[in-house]
Structure 1
Amino acid sequence: MSTNAKPGSGPALDLDGVPTPALLIDLDRVRANLARSLAIIGGADRWRPHVKTAKVAAVQQLMLEAGLRHFKCATTREARVLLDLARDGGHSIDLLLAMALRGPNLARYAAIAAAHPGQRLSLLSEDPAHAAAVRGLDAGLGLYLDLDPGMGRTGIPLLDWERIASTRAAAGSALRGLHAYEGQFGGIPLDQRPAAADALYPRLVELAERLELGEAELVTSGTPAFALAAGHPAFAGRRHRVSPGTVVYWDLTSVGSGLDGYAFAATVLATVVSRPAAGRLTVDAGSKAVDAAAGDPCAAVVGLPGLRALRPSEEHLPMARDGGPMPELGQRLRLIPRHVCPTVNLADEALLIEGGRVTARVPVAARGHETAG
């Protein structure tokens, strides 16, 4: 079957004959996760999903079919893949690249914008010189003022009013909104997150009012906080969008958000290749197939909750079980990643599942980074 096959085209693939490790994406579960997210958020117009997780054109197509037209991305490759898909499907989208691009990266983004007329492209800015440089390109790129709400990664600290105001002034008519990613909420106990939201969100609205932004958009919230932000009274009557992306596939980390109704849509198929000792086995999906940076355990096994993933090496993932039957040599296991976003990025191809059958093999088109246009 062609690696560019569309979901549902051609004969179903035999999963037993697929070499491992292999990334599996269940499109029926993706559809269910999209529907669940839309129900929580309150509609497609209030969601600007981060496509750093999806990375597969067939999944992005489902997002478009669900009515989503506002998106967020992290790389120029993610931008190009999504914009190509939107153009070919006759869709006009609004895309925010969540980075203050500079140098060749900014030039590449401007070139992508020029190649996709009729689409609305923006990026972040956190200093006046950068904002002025973006405007000087005359590429039609919009700007979102990047604020740091406490994560300490990018953006202007909320108390640095002078820098906020000067960057806003430099952005001028190119300014389209404010961006504040409160990713630190993921490290706050669930029962303390509402108080953190109550302390932060009114401050963001006050800043918007002080800047006299009018109808400009406020963009907040990944998976740990989007449900809180979507229903928070501080944003009532505001043009506010949340931007969770992991919810499309769901993963072990997302379970900690306390939300129900989601399904694990992306798994890694692996084979038991060794039984080195009683209660121990090893599969062929190491850190080059399942992201290990998020910590241990890096994955769980579908249908075998008692089987614990140990520390992986590049091509091997050891597992242990204290009592109970062990999988046999050659047995296939499906792994649920702790962190699905970089796990998807590790794969060159994905097998798409619909109706319980593998129906297509497709490239993970938006993985990695561009080094040339």
Structure 2
Amino acid sequence: MRATLARKRDWVGAAWTIRLGKIPSTPMAPFAHLDHSDYALAPELQSQLLSPSLVVFIDQVRANIRRVIECAGGDSDRWRVHLKTTKIPAIWDELLNAGVRHFKCATVRETAELLTLLDEREISGDVLLAYPLVGPGLDYLGRLAVAHGSQRVSVLCEDEERIGSIPAALEIFIDLNSGMDRTGVPVADRETILACARAAQGRLRGLHHYDGHLHAADMDLRRQEIFEGYDRLVALVGDLNAQGIEVDEVITAGTPAFLSALEYTPLRKLQGARHRVSPGTVVFHDARSQVENPGLGLAPAALVFSRVVSQPRRGQITLDAGSKALAAEAGDPAAHALGHPEWTALSPSEEHLPVDLGGGPAPERGSACLLIPRHVCPTVNLAEEALLVESDGSHSVVRVSARAHDLFAPG
């Protein structure tokens, strides 16, 4: 980051440099500790940029990637990054440049885009589609694995009777229900897990244990709950080993749990198995993650550029980034305005975001601001294109090519 840029460019919002010891005490202003710095867009660029639009700051992406690898002891091999957040191959390039080779995807489209990139860069990767696919999507994934034969491709399964229908080119992770009750076999159901493991012999990669429901605000309580789940998980691996089942890999931990997962020593000492964490939001970071992991030291990297379109009443403005540009499913506030900790975003409608100014002065109509999403993953999915901005002000426009879903499988 270069402070000299301030002489060259106008500034939108505030910085991402973290002042240690000044973590906000309230989730209403999770980025009040940020300095004015490198979220800059040149005036001529701002004058041409339509709003709302997705803007990704590449230096912050790189810093976030470095920070997560640092948390993993400098070992990029411990990170199976989830790509559901980023959805942009140019961002995946940054992960590859940092040495990351293990990936999770949520959709077949994400998987197809990633496999194409890996082949183009002549890099051998390891890709898990972390979803219990059924129907033609499963067959399509099998064809992708054949077409990209230098890559390892796997899928989740929770039912021994379905393993025979999984294409032979795909490897298998058994999906465990860690208590989230979304998908997977309950960890305590040893009979079903053992049956799945035996049916998948020869293609069994390991266990997938997603504990995204554990995000208590009390960090000590969260760690305790996470560790209790890992106690049960480690016992399961031991039981499978005792039955002659080899577990190659154990995957845990999205963004709320991954620091605790890295702290849990028994996962690093599994017999014959590699433990990997799988956060994805960390690459772009967002307001919800800042509240959940306030001391992590990440920077918001994917923001929504917006403009003031109305001043409907004293003390309130309306921005042009509604729920069709900014994910709203995680609750209010849907975003935080960079550089304006006193502002509070109210409930959005489709094309409008009302904002309470908190007693501050009203900006002029047409004024620009950058919004940090509360939940960045579905926010990125709403955008068809993104503006990528480098620290020197250079920029490019890319498609968010892994967003959404295909209607039919190609071919």
Q: TM-score, normalised by structure 2?
A: 0.85
2:127 maps to a residue whose letter is L
Q: SS of the residue aligned with 1:99?
A: coil
2:406 maps to a residue whose letter is E
Q: TM-score, normalised by structure 1?
A: 0.94
Q: SS of the residue aligned with 1:54?
A: coil
* Structure 1 residue 231, shift from structure 2 partner: 2.2
Residues 151 and 318 (structure 1), Cα distance of their counterparts in 2 relative to 1, 3 Å cut: same
1:100 maps to a residue whose letter is P
CA distance in 2, matches of 1:57, 1:15: 25
CA distance in 2, matches of 1:293, 1:162: 37
Structure 1, 232-241 or 90-99: larger mean CA deviation:
232-241
2:361 is aligned, of 325, 340, 346, to 325
Residues 236 and 19 (structure 1), Cα distance of their counterparts in 2 relative to 1, 3 Å cut: same
CA distance in 1, matches of 2:342, 2:133: 45
Q: 2:38 is matched with which residue?
A: none
Contact 2:216 2:222 in 1 (8 A): no
Q: 1:251 is matched with which residue?
A: 286
Q: Indicate yes or no: 2:232 matched with 1:203.
A: yes
CA distance in 2, matches of 1:189, 1:152: 22
Contact 1:12 1:359 in 2 (8 A): no
Q: SS of the residue aligned with 2:165?
A: helix
* Structure 1 residue 215, shift from structure 2 partner: 5.0
Structure 1 gap segments, 5+ residues each: 1-10
2:370 maps to a residue whose letter is R
1:98-137 per-residue CA deviation (whole Å, 9 max, x = no partner) reads 0111110101101111211110000000011112221xx3
Counterparts of 1:296-335 in structure 2, within 5 Å, are 296-335=332-371
Counterparts of 1:3-42 in structure 2, within 5 Å, are 14-42=45-73
Q: SS of the residue aligned with 1:219?
A: strand
Q: SS of the residue aligned with 1:312?
A: coil
Q: Indicate yes or no: 2:102 matched with 1:102.
A: no
Counterparts of 1:144-163 in structure 2, within 5 Å, are 144-163=173-192
Structure 1, 250-259 or 360-369: larger mean CA deviation:
250-259
Structure 2 gap segments, 5+ residues each: 1-41
Q: 2:109 is matched with which residue?
A: 77
* Structure 1 residue 358, shift from structure 2 partner: 4.7
CA distance in 2, matches of 1:329, 1:249: 29
Residues 26 and 103 (structure 1), Cα distance of their counterparts in 2 relative to 1, 3 Å cut: same
CA distance in 1, matches of 2:199, 2:44: 55
Q: Indicate yes or no: 2:141 matched with 1:141.
A: no
2:133 maps to a residue whose letter is L
Q: 1:111 is matched with which residue?
A: 143
CA distance in 1, matches of 2:268, 2:94: 29
Identity of aligned residues (%): 45
* Structure 1 residue 356, shift from structure 2 partner: 5.0
1:272 maps to a residue whose letter is V
Q: 1:268 is matched with which residue?
A: 304
* Structure 1 residue 191, shift from structure 2 partner: 2.2
Q: 1:221 is matched with which residue?
A: 253
Contact 1:224 1:254 in 2 (8 A): yes
Residues 318 and 208 (structure 1), Cα distance of their counterparts in 2 relative to 1, 3 Å cut: same
Structure 1, 214-223 or 266-275: larger mean CA deviation:
214-223
CA distance in 1, matches of 2:213, 2:285: 19
In the alignment of these two chains, the number of paired residues is: 360
* Structure 1 residue 314, shift from structure 2 partner: 0.5
2:90 is aligned, of 54, 58, 61, to 58
CA distance in 1, matches of 2:211, 2:387: 33
Q: SS of the residue aligned with 1:289?
A: coil
Q: SS of the residue aligned with 2:143?
A: helix
Residues 25 and 299 (structure 1), Cα distance of their counterparts in 2 relative to 1, 3 Å cut: same
Q: SS of the residue aligned with 1:345?
A: helix
2:331 maps to a residue whose letter is G
* Structure 1 residue 206, shift from structure 2 partner: 1.3
Structure 1, 110-119 or 360-369: larger mean CA deviation:
110-119
Residues 13 and 354 (structure 1), Cα distance of their counterparts in 2 relative to 1, 3 Å cut: farther
1:250-289 per-residue CA deviation (whole Å, 9 max, x = no partner) reads 0001012233311000100001000011101101100000
Contact 1:14 1:358 in 2 (8 A): no
Q: Indicate yes or no: 2:198 matched with 1:169.
A: yes
Q: 2:406 is matched with which residue?
A: 370
* Structure 1 residue 188, shift from structure 2 partner: 5.5
CA distance in 2, matches of 1:48, 1:13: 39
Contact 2:344 2:358 in 1 (8 A): no
1:275-319 per-residue CA deviation (whole Å, 9 max, x = no partner) reads 011101101100000000000000000000111100100000011
1:47 is aligned, of 79, 91, 94, to 79
1:45 maps to a residue whose letter is D
